[in-house]
Amino acid sequence: MGESMTMLKGTNVPVAASAVRVELGWRTAPGAPDVDASALLLVSGKVRSDADFVFYNQPVHGSGAVRHEGKRTVADGVVDALTVDLARVEPGIERIVLAASADGGSFGQVTGLYVRIMDLSNGAEVARFDSADATVETAFILGELYRRQAAWKFRAVGQGYGSGLEGLATDFGISVDRPQRPQQPTRVDLPPPPPPPPAAPAWQPPRPPAAALPQPPVPPVPPAAPPVPPSPQPVRLSKVTLTKDAPSVSLAKQGGTSGAMRVNLNWEVRKQFTGWTGKLGRAVANHADLDLDLCALYELTDGRKGVVQALGNAFGALAQPPYIHLDGDDRTGAVATGENLTVNLDHKDKFHRVLIFVTIYEGARSFADLHATVTLQPQHGAPIDFSLDECTVPSTVCALALITNEGGELTVRREARYLVPERGVSPQRTVDYAYGWGMNWTPGRK
Which of 316-353 are b and which e, b meaning 16 or more Cβ less than 10 Å from the residue's Cβ?
beeeeebbbbbbebbbbbbbeebbbbbbbbebbebbeb
Q: Does pLDDT of 336 surpass 60?
A: no
Q: What is the pLDDT of residues 172-194, one digit of tens each?
A: 988 876 554 434 433 334 445 55
Helix, strand or coil, per DSSP, at residue 204: coil
Q: Does pLDDT of 18 surpass 50?
A: yes
- Residues near 438 by beta carbon (within 8 Å), at least 6 away in sequence: 305, 432
pLDDT at 29: 81
Q: For the residues 307-324, what does the mean pLDDT come to?
A: 92
Residue 1's Cβ-count burial label (10 Å; 0-12, 13-18, 19+) is exposed
Which of 4-37 are b and which e, b meaning 16 or more Cβ less than 10 Å from the residue's Cβ?
ebebebeebbebebeebbbbbbbeeeeebbbbbb
Cα–Cα distance for residue pair 148/169, rounded to 1 Å:
24
For residues 7 and 200, the model is more confident at 7
Nearest to 139 by CA among 37, 243, 30, 55: 37
Q: What is the pLDDT of residues 204-229, one digit of tens each?
A: 555 544 444 445 555 555 555 444 34
- For residues 80, 120, 5, 165, the Cα torsion angle rounded to the nearest 10 degrees is -30
Q: Does pLDDT of 41 surpass 70?
A: yes
Q: For the residues 72-99, what does the mean pLDDT come to?
A: 90
For 376-406, give the secondary structure using H, E and C. Answer: EEECCCCCEEEECCCCCCCCCEEEEEEEEEE
pLDDT at 272: 41
pLDDT at 11: 92
Helix (H) or strand (E) holding 74: strand 66-74
Distance of alpha carbon 355 from its chain centroid, rounded?
20
Q: Name the band, by pLDDT with cuts 50, 70 and 90, for residue 372.
A: confident
Name the E strands within 149-250: 151-161, 240-241, 248-250
Q: What is the pLDDT of residues 386-402, one digit of tens each?
A: 888 888 888 999 999 99
Q: Name the band, by pLDDT with cuts 50, 70 and 90, for residue 156.
A: very high
Are 435 and 399 in contact, with CB atoms under 8 Å apart? yes
Q: For residue 93, give the DSSP letter.
A: -
Cα–Cα distance for residue pair 296/402, rounded to 1 Å:
10
Q: What is the pLDDT of residues 194-203, one digit of tens each?
A: 555 555 455 5
Q: Name the band, by pLDDT with cuts 50, 70 and 90, for residue 432.
A: very high
pLDDT at 334: 43
Between CA 58 and CA 299, with CA 418 as vertex, the angle to 5 degrees is 75
Are 310 and 363 in contact, with CB atoms under 8 Å apart? no
Has this prediction a pTM greater than 0.75?
A: no
Sign of CA dihedral 61, 67, 70, 76: negative
pLDDT at 197: 55
For residues 17 and 136, the model is more confident at 17
Cα–Cα distance for residue pair 85/166, rounded to 1 Å:
26
Nearest to 310 by CA among 323, 325, 299: 325
Q: For the residues 342-367, what does the mean pLDDT come to?
A: 90
Sign of CA dihedral 72, 86, 20, 269: positive
pLDDT at 223: 53
pLDDT at 436: 93
Q: Does pLDDT of 13 surpass 80?
A: yes
Cα–Cα distance for residue pair 143/130, rounded to 1 Å:
10
Q: Does pLDDT of 253 surpass 80?
A: no
For residues 331 and 405, the model is more confident at 405
| Summary mean pLDDT of the chain | 80
Residue 176's Cβ-count burial label (10 Å; 0-12, 13-18, 19+) is middle
